Structure 1
Amino acid sequence: MSKFKEGMSGLLVPVLAIAIWQTASSLGWINPLVLPSPWAVVRKWFEYLSPLTPYSPDSGSWLAWLFSGELIHDAIGSLYRVVVGFLIGAGLALPLGLLMGSSKRVYALMNLTVQVIRPIPPIAYIPLAILWFGLGNPPALFLISLGAFFPVLMNTIAGVRQVDSIYLRAARNLGASQRTLFMRVMLPASVPYILSGVRIGIGTAFIVVIVAEMIAVSNGLGFRIMEAREYFWSDKIIAGMITIGLLGLAIDMGMSRLNNYMLRWHRGLES
């Protein structure tokens, strides 16, 4: 019941903002070309979601026709790039982070390079990405991988290096080898940090994919927003932005549930 109340209270601000927005639009205080009314945005969103052609037996299966809308194709394209780019970035960051966290020698060797490259935003790599990979998915995946790489890397390093020394001393006193110490003590203790990095990394990947699609690809939510800007379709721009927000919310909620499931042994999550 308390979660339901929290959810309802969370709707208070957006509902109030939409009511003020709609009122201002109805009274003519806002230029609809600059900021269309919420009702106009909702209509455009459903138009964007709807199948491009009327249904006919030649359209194939009913389900395929239902999901043939432009919005569905753009959302699938964006999610594909997010998932693939994130898996590449996190797949490279996780082993490197574990090595840097567990080995002082590897940390000393790699830390300066990491700290120099880390502040450079993925957007700054756009010219190089296009030069190296051309247009299409490869440069977008490269940028998304960069966006996901450093949050996972830094949280993994922090998680391994901040394992309580009491656990390490106790394991050594019990005769644990270095491999056992790493697998049974350091790695499990660092999992909360790693999962936090994964959650931040996939959120960053979703931000980067929109920017990458505005530059390098010919479909996806970012591309569609740029297309709408060129034709002054403000309602479609906002509809695309709302779709991005809803997908981002769904991804974050999914990651939160995954974290809670994988950390159910952790203090405070037993219930």
Structure 2
Amino acid sequence: MKNSFQAKMFETLQGFLVPIVLLALWQWLSTQAIVNPQILPAPTAVLAKWWEYLKPQELFDPAQSSYLAWLFSGELIRDAYASLYRVVVGFLVGAVLALPLGLMMGANDRIYKLFNPLIQVFRPIPPIAFIPLSILWFGLGNPPAIFLIVIGAFFPILMNTIAGVRHVDGIYIRAARSLGASQTTMFLRVMLPAATPYILTGARIGVGTAFIVVIVAEMIAVNNGLGYRILEAREFFWSDKIIAGMFSIGLLGLAIDTGMNRLNNYLLKWHRGIESN
């Protein structure tokens, strides 16, 4: 037990080694004026701006709001919440549309041949290309941003779901047939569980794509969110705030990806190669 804990600690420290070295090098380049601080501010300046971006802008007034509401009233918290809301809604809508279609296309050759040409035409088109149409169709605000996120999350989930169902080991299918399983039982008890690792991988990729798309969408169609704030900082040449916003996106994305990874490991305890703790 002790050795296992020490191994995990050592692995964690190894993961921090390269970022620490890069931060030290970055700080040295900025303080020695080798790089223009206006173009690439020092990490300490970025951290100061990040804290300014995070903290509440007004003094706490019990008559106006609760302490918790005041604590989460900082600009960064509000922008992060707006971005996260769009990601979650867009991802869920994309998943709800992609999963049934992917399962049907994977399980039925006729449906696959019917929809696959259309899917292959639209799949290479980046969601960013839909920005003009999304604004024409939905105007400004959350709807066009969510629409773009739906497109970004839809295709990774769809393609992984199709691949998962179509690549079920033939041994399982033959065994189920020899035991007299019906098509419904075979789909629910054999094909769907065997495809679950692919589906969860697609969901993880879809969340990452949704995060990429939301930042671009917020630079175009809305007036809040992390992407909007980065664009605003660019207009005023606030390099420290741009980098602070970028790191905020990275940390939020890391938290979501870590959560997705833990969920995958929990749901796939039965799958070979994944050991339960």
Q: Given the two structures, how large is their TM-score scaled by the length of structure 1? A: 0.99
Letter in 1 for 2:266: Y
Is 2:207 the partner of 1:202? yes
Aligned counterpart, 1:31: 36
Which of 219, 240, 257 is the aligned partner of 1:252? 257
Aligned counterpart, 1:96: 101
Q: Deviations over 1:93-116 (max 9, x none)?
A: 000000000000000001111011
Letter in 2 for 1:106: I
Is 2:137 the partner of 1:132? yes
Aligned counterpart, 1:58: 63
Letter in 1 for 2:206: G
User: What SS class does the counterpart of residue 31 from structure 1 fall into?
Assistant: coil
- Structure 1, gaps ≥5 residues long: none
State how far apart, in whole Å, the 2-side matches of 1:28 and 1:60 are.
45
Deviation at 1:205, TM superposition (A): 0.3
Deviation at 1:33, TM superposition (A): 1.2
Deviation at 1:144, TM superposition (A): 0.2
Structural mapping, 1:199-238, within 5 Å: 199-238=204-243
State how far apart, in whole Å, the 2-side matches of 1:164 and 1:131 are.
46
User: What SS class does the counterpart of residue 180 from structure 2 fall into?
Assistant: coil
State how far apart, in whole Å, the 2-side matches of 1:270 and 1:242 are.
32
Q: Given the two structures, how large is their TM-score scaled by the length of structure 2? A: 0.97
Which of 157, 160, 170 is the aligned partner of 1:165? 170
Aligned counterpart, 1:141: 146
State how far apart, in whole Å, the 2-side matches of 1:243 and 1:55 are.
24
Which of 104, 122, 127 is the aligned partner of 1:122? 127
Letter in 1 for 2:221: A
Structural mapping, 1:38-57, within 5 Å: 38-57=43-62
Q: Deviations over 1:60-81 (max 9, x none)?
A: 1111111110000000000000
State how far apart, in whole Å, the 2-side matches of 1:120 and 1:77 are.
26
Deviation at 1:6, TM superposition (A): 1.3
Q: Deviations over 1:126-168 (max 9, x none)?
A: 0010011110000000000000000000000000000011110
Which of 12, 18, 22 is the aligned partner of 1:17? 22
State how far apart, in whole Å, the 1-side matches of 2:41 and 2:166 are.
51
Q: Deviations over 1:182-232 (max 9, x none)?
A: 000000000000000000001100110000000000100000000000001
User: What SS class does the counterpart of residue 58 from structure 1 fall into?
Assistant: coil
Q: CA RMSD, aligned part only?
A: 0.7
How many residue pairs end up in the alignment? 271
